Structure 1
Amino acid sequence: MVVGAFVTLVVAETRRPLRRPMAEPKARRDLRNLGVAALSAATLRVLEKPVVEPLSREVERRRFGLLQWLAPPRWLEVPLAIVLMDYTLYLWHVLTHRVPLLWRLHAVHHVDLDLSATTALRFHFGEMALSVPYRAAQVVLLGVGPRALSVWQDFLFASILFHHSNLRLPLPLERRLVPWFVTPRMHGIHHSIVEAETNSNWSSGLTVWDWLHGTLRLDVPQDRISIGLPAWRDPAEVTLPRILAMPFARQRPSFRLPDGRTPRRAPSRALLPG
């Protein structure tokens, strides 16, 4: 199902692109992003899978954690787990922007000069390694059993593939979806080079968390968004070896252009413009 969703989005975004022209050839970017993704997947296979899945089984066996103590009806357990995991992932996403060490790693995701379905897979292996204790804490404290964990993982993966894609949905459809789910236009604002816009739209699945925390932005037209980070605008600086080494190199001010300027934009009153 997940592979099918990925292939469908890659094809669909080619036929109905939301943002263009692209800063780099799509094939080159996609191969680079898949290279980063392969290292991240291997990291999760080695570090997360042997920890989180056994913890989930133990949580269910010992009836430990919030959901196990509440003991909701079986039909309600999975939806509650998705909501709680999604909210705590929102908090983790905020931390990856606010904590300097985490930002060093998360910036690799943001220096992509374009946005497409493969960007959803482009997370530095170091970030994935540091996320394992947080994921384990989510499972234990929330009491997420194996079935709920599996459904949430599928929901999350499908969601991040969808909202990172460069797919132009019909505007009336996207305006109906965005009060509930993160959409490509909404998440495109989060990948803007304007810092105030990057520091918005942190939700990964459900839009409600940005609404509750006052971090929702729907007022930037996609054709006015420059994707990436101001400090890295040259495609030659975001090759695979360079982005893998980036967290370990001397850090630049992420939101300052090479000429020293800081990108800014006056807020608009428009609601999810085209």
Structure 2
Amino acid sequence: MEAMLRFCMFIGILLLMAIWEVLSPTRHLSVRRRQRWMINLGLAALNVGLMRISIGAAAWLAATWALEQHLGLFNNLTLPGWLNISLSLLLLDLAIYAQHVAAHRWEWFWRLHQVHHSDLDFDTTTAVRFHPIEIILSMAYKVLLVIALGVEPQAVIAFEIILNGCALFNHGNVSLSAPIEWWIRWLLVTPNMHRIHHSAKPQETDTNYGFSLSCWDRCFKTYRAESQQPQNTMPIGLRGFQNPDELGLLALLVMPFWPLRRR
């Protein structure tokens, strides 16, 4: 049931973002949408399939088990339900921020994460462009966090929906008016903020790590307000991977095992 809920929310947000991108895009795509979407969505479908036959619902099951066994921080504290869930969502989001920073700073982790950054364009499907090994490691990490924190099962479902929804939004090739974008950015990571993270310039790629809340980048001084070049023309992707013919689905799957290319 929880998997179906998350899937329906994901498809609904993906469709809304795709329509928004057609109606009000920020950038002209350099690679045909059909070509990129087949790769990005194909990779997402592969990840979903692997998760279904391996550890797909592991975080929710871990939360249920920890609750029954009275394991973890929040399962041993007496807190109002709203505060319990709020703190759980906050700490999980901070943990995902820390994971993202590690993915850029640890070479072995970057080998996996560069699949996400190798996209030559930036749209809502970029949000699901991850190597299967990174997806599995991320789920294992979340399972450990859920048990250690004692996160309630409903908080796990809420977190997954929020994380996926925010990722689809902040990877969107969509336009927001400057005042609206400024106000939203004080709470959430916006497309303009996260697009800087996908710049081909390493000094910009290594900023704006947040996926949902924007506060972590400000707190830990990884926040960058503006890109050096206008967002509608700045180069996207990795300098070592600028040929679309090298970025097919099979190439992405073996990319972590190639010699590292210059960023």
1:184-210 deviation line (CA, Å, top 9, x unaligned): 000000000111111000011000100
Identity of aligned residues (%): 36
Which amino acid in structure 2 is aligned with residue 76 of structure 1? L
In structure 1, how many angstroms separate the alpha carbons of the residues matched to 2:196 and 2:259?
Answer: 27
Indicate which of 9, 26, 29 corresponds to 2:17: 9
Q: What aligned pairs does 1:72-151 form with structure 2 within 5 A after superposition? A: 72-151=79-158
Instruction: Tell whether the 8 Å contact from 2:31 to 2:120 is kept in structure 1 after alignment.
Output: yes
Which amino acid in structure 1 is aligned with residue 161 of structure 2? D
Are 2:254 and 1:249 equivalent residues in the alignment? no
**Post-superposition offset of 1:140:** 0.9
In structure 2, how many angstroms separate the alpha carbons of the residues matched to 1:46 and 1:81?
Answer: 27
User: Normalised by the size of structure 1, how large is the TM-score?
Assistant: 0.89
Are 2:53 and 1:46 equivalent residues in the alignment? yes
Indicate which of 227, 232, 243 corresponds to 1:234: 243
Instruction: Tell whether the 8 Å contact from 1:78 to 1:151 is kept in structure 2 after alignment.
Output: no
**Post-superposition offset of 1:50:** 4.8
What runs of 5+ residues in structure 2 fail to find an aligned partner?
1-8
Q: What aligned pairs does 1:143-182 form with structure 2 within 5 A after superposition? A: 143-182=150-189
**Post-superposition offset of 1:153:** 0.5
> In 2 relative to 1, CA 211–242 (structure 1 residues): closer, same or farther, beyond 3 Å?
same
Instruction: Tell whether the 8 Å contact from 1:47 to 1:132 is kept in structure 2 after alignment.
Output: no
Instruction: Tell whether the 8 Å contact from 1:43 to 1:128 is kept in structure 2 after alignment.
Output: no
**Post-superposition offset of 1:222:** 0.7
In structure 2, how many angstroms separate the alpha carbons of the residues matched to 1:252 and 1:159?
Answer: 30
1:25-51 deviation line (CA, Å, top 9, x unaligned): 111111110011111112222333353
In structure 2, how many angstroms separate the alpha carbons of the residues matched to 1:7 and 1:50?
Answer: 24
In structure 2, how many angstroms separate the alpha carbons of the residues matched to 1:66 and 1:207?
Answer: 25
In structure 1, how many angstroms separate the alpha carbons of the residues matched to 2:117 and 2:48?
Answer: 18
In structure 1, how many angstroms separate the alpha carbons of the residues matched to 2:258 and 2:37?
Answer: 24
What runs of 5+ residues in structure 1 fail to find an aligned partner?
256-274
Which amino acid in structure 1 is aligned with residue 65 of structure 2? E
**Post-superposition offset of 1:132:** 2.8
In structure 2, how many angstroms separate the alpha carbons of the residues matched to 1:4 and 1:53?
Answer: 22
1:203-229 deviation line (CA, Å, top 9, x unaligned): 110001001000011121313421100
In structure 1, how many angstroms separate the alpha carbons of the residues matched to 2:246 and 2:63?
Answer: 41
Which amino acid in structure 1 is aligned with residue 12 of structure 2? G
Root-mean-square deviation over aligned CA pairs: 1.3
**Post-superposition offset of 1:252:** 1.6
Q: Which residue of 2 aligns with 1:24?
A: 31
In structure 2, how many angstroms separate the alpha carbons of the residues matched to 1:10 and 1:50?
Answer: 27
Secondary structure, counterpart of 1:232 in structure 2: coil
Are 2:66 and 1:66 equivalent residues in the alignment? no
Which amino acid in structure 2 is aligned with residue 198 of structure 1? T
- Range moving further from structure 2, 239-248 or 47-56: 47-56
In structure 2, how many angstroms separate the alpha carbons of the residues matched to 1:250 and 1:199?
Answer: 21
In structure 2, how many angstroms separate the alpha carbons of the residues matched to 1:174 and 1:96?
Answer: 27
> In 2 relative to 1, CA 50–155 (structure 1 residues): closer, same or farther, beyond 3 Å?
closer
Instruction: Tell whether the 8 Å contact from 2:93 to 2:213 is kept in structure 1 after alignment.
Output: yes
Q: Which residue of 2 aligns with 1:272?
A: none
Secondary structure, counterpart of 2:212 in structure 1: coil
In structure 1, how many angstroms separate the alpha carbons of the residues matched to 2:53 and 2:218?
Answer: 36
